[in-house]
């Protein structure tokens, strides 16, 4: 795809105290793409997702979004640039209803498009409609995942960051969620950057992918290329599919 990428991460290093979690990461995500990031536990995938949102901020390197350097912006300002995240652990507000959680997602526009958008979310995830007046903390894991994605979508994002949308979910629900992501990408041109442990499904879904090991990107390529790459197969696919 021509032109500037929507998200450009250059030489980003992030620390937790004195521990380096990311050591010089370069990643690009173009408009309209689905890009995935795969890797083992503790490789720094979630840290990269949070670094994009400025929490924690990168100690060195740059995060450029839509031509603007957002590396040192506070988290809530980055959110207002329309980067939405469904973070690790889902982070549903437990003592707010499903409906209120969705309203929180639409805060940026003061609920201007709320009615219209919430209907879309309810079509995509009918379970949320049934549970709309229930407290977030009482939902099952799968329902919380749907809510987390729905809440992120309510802000009409330019870039959607998904951290392990399949974690702990039944295969059928995972399939549903991945289909929803694909549909949003095809029909609305939504750009998606996702982290997945379920490498096989992620690579099949993605236009391009990066492999992360110990805080560094070690490989990248199209989803197809990585699926057929023997190293990737050995490390992330065959080992994980018993």
Binding footprint of another protein on the chain (CB under 8 A): 53, 55, 74-76, 79-80, 84-85, 87, 89, 91-96, 100, 103-105, 107-108, 110-111, 137, 151, 155
Helix (H, G, I), strand (E, B) or coil at 32: coil
Q: Which is nearer to another protein, 73 or 212 (CB)?
A: 73
Q: Which is nearer to another protein, 39 or 136 (CB)?
A: 136
Q: Which is nearer to another protein, 42 or 94 (CB)?
A: 94
As measured in angstroms, the least distance from the Cβ of 110 to another protein is 7
As measured in angstroms, the least distance from the Cβ of 97 to another protein is 11
Q: Which is nearer to another protein, 92 or 195 (CB)?
A: 92
As measured in angstroms, the least distance from the Cβ of 77 to another protein is 8
With a CB cutoff of 8 Å and minimum separation 6, the contacts of 129 are 122
Residue carrying structure tokens 């041109």? 189
Q: Which is nearer to another protein, 113 or 200 (CB)?
A: 113
Report which of 191, 231, 194 is spatially closest to residue 209, judged by C-alpha positions.
Answer: 194
As measured in angstroms, the least distance from the Cβ of 229 to another protein is 33
Helix (H, G, I), strand (E, B) or coil at 232: helix
Tokens of 6: 């929507």
Report which of 178, 202, 210 is spatially closest to residue 44, judged by C-alpha positions.
Answer: 210
In whole angstroms, give the CA distance from residue 95 to residue 138: 9
As measured in angstroms, the least distance from the Cβ of 71 to another protein is 16
Q: Where are the alpha helices (DSSP H) in 125-214?
A: 126-130, 141-153, 171-188, 199-205
């Amino acid at each position: 795809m021509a032109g500037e990428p929507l998200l450009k991460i250059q030489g980003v290093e992030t620390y937790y105290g004195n521990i380096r979690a990311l050591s010089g990461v370069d990643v690009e995500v173009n408009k309209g793409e689905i890009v995935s990031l795969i890797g083992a536990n503790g490789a720094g995938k979630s840290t990269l997702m949070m670094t994009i949102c400025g929490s924690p901020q990168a100690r060195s390197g740059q995060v450029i979004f839509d031509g603007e350097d957002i590396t040192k912006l506070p988290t809530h300002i980055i959110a207002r640039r329309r980067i939405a995240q469904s973070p690790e652990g889902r982070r549903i507000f437990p003592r707010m209803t499903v409906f209120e959680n969705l309203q929180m997602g639409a805060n940026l526009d003061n609920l201007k498009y709320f009615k219209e958008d919430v209907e879309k979310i309810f079509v995509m995830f009918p379970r949320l409609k049934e549970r709309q007046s229930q407290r977030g903390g009482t939902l099952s894991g799968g329902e919380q995942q749907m809510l987390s994605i729905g809440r992120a979508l309510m802000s009409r994002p330019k870039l959607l960051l998904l951290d392990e949308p399949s974690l702990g979910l039944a295969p059928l629900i995972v399939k549903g969620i991945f289909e929803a992501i694909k549909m949003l990408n095809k029909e609305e041109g939504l750009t998606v950057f996702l982290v997945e442990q379920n490498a096989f499904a992620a690579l099949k879904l993605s236009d391009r992918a990066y492999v992360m090991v110990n805080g560094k990107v070690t490989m990248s390529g199209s989803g197809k290329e990585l699926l057929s790459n023997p190293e990737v197969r050995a490390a992330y696919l065959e080992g994980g599919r018993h």
